[in-house]
Amino acid sequence: MAVRGLREIQPFFPQAGGYPQKVLIALLFKLVILVRLHSIAGIIYTPMKLLSALFSISCLCASITALQAAPTPAEVIRQARVKIGTEATLSAVRSLSLEGNAFDADGKKIGLVLNDYKLPNKRREYSFRTDRNAEITLASNGLEGFLKSRDLNTQQTPVRLLNGTELKASTDILHAELDFFATPKGGKITYAGEGTQQGKVCNILEYQYAGGIIIRRYFEKTTALLVAQEIYDATTPKEDRRLVVFEGVLESEGIRFPKKIINYAKGKIDSSIEYTAVKVNPTIPDSVFAFPMP
């Protein structure tokens, strides 16, 4: 009878596994047993008694729900920032330079990368592709931006202006790099529940930036570390969202950066970058981000 009573309760709580849920199941189980024992003893539970018991259980449910309330974005962000540096150190960052090696889906080295970021609106990402013998530069300064490709075999160097949407997105990416999970200026953050990413249970925060970029970040619940993020905009189909997974630690000036980022496309590894050096608050001339002269 005891086993049967427990099975009658459990279907209503299929994910019961945490401490509060177990307590609730135990109390409901005791209620079932008590009612049945009293019935055997000839004690009849009147509707009023049953209602009283159910009311007590409902109050308990409300208390448990309150205890299990979802964390606020501010709580998740505070814990995540503590893991990568002090508040004073993170808030003092105004520019950043990262150097690293690029690899293809099979782990073969295909080039070098150099990324420069400078507040309030300057970004440059340069890559030298050894597999193509080409240089690719994307840069923006808040007013204009460009994408330049240089074929080192033919010396052809086509340059394309970024359109308005691309320019705003470039500025969003800059702030995503230098804000260290803080609420984006002109944007907002919402808590998107829990989810599993790379086999880890995570709190999910959805960042909406002023220029239209959305970044869905996965912070591991037990460590508060950033596990992965998806980057997209309102028009991106879910299957086309870009997933970036973070591994390792590279420390510079008291700040812990991801050592490796792995890019996924449609569920498969597309490429990766392993950083070898990070410079915090380097002096970067504005000319680095300016439109190239002919």
| 112 and 243 assigned to the same domain | yes
Q: Is residue 133 part of a domain?
A: no
**Residue 47 covered by a domain:** yes
Q: Are residues 191 and 256 in the same domain?
A: yes
If one counts the domains in the chain, the total is 2
**pTM: predicted TM-score of the whole model, two decimal places:** 0.77
Residues 246 and 117 in one domain: yes
User: Is 152 within a domain?
Assistant: no
Q: Could you tell me the CA-to-CA distances from 96 to 43, 272, 280 in Å, in that order? A: 75, 20, 5
Which among 67, 92, 116 is the end of a domain?
67
- Looking at residue 282, its pLDDT comes to 98
Query: Could you report the per-residue pLDDT of 129-152, keeping only the tens digit for each?
Result: 998 899 999 999 999 999 999 999
| 93 in the same domain as 225 | yes
Q: What is residue 199's predicted lDDT score, i.e. its pLDDT?
A: 96
Tokens of 86: 């002090």
How confident is the model over 218-234, as a mean pLDDT? 96
The verdict on residue 156 lying in a domain is no
Q: Give the chain as a 3 state SS string.
A: CHHHHHHHHHHHCCCCCCHHHHHHHHHHHHHHHHHHHHHHCCCCCCHHHHHHHHHHHHHHHHHHHHHCCCCCHHHHHHHHHHHHCCHHHHHCCCEEEEEEEEEECCCCEEEEEEEEEECCCEEEEEEEECCCCEEEEEEECCCCEEEEEEECCCCCCCEEECCHHHHHHHHHHHHHHHCCCCCCCCCEEEEEEEEEECCEEEEEEEEECCCCCEEEEEEECCCCCEEEEEEECCCCCHHHCEEEEEECCEEECCEEECCEEEEEECCEEEEEEEEEEEEECCCCCHHHHCCCCC
- Assign residue 234 the CATH number of its domain: 2.50.20
Six-digit token pair at 216? 């869905």
Please check whether residues 238 and 176 belong to one and the same domain.
yes
132 lies in a domain? no
Residues 29 and 169 in one domain: no
In a domain, 186, yes or no: yes
Cβ neighbors of 8 (< 8 A, separation 6 or more) are: 32
* Residue 70: band (very low, low, confident or very high) from pLDDT cuts 50, 70, 90: confident
Domain limits for position 183: 73-124+164-289
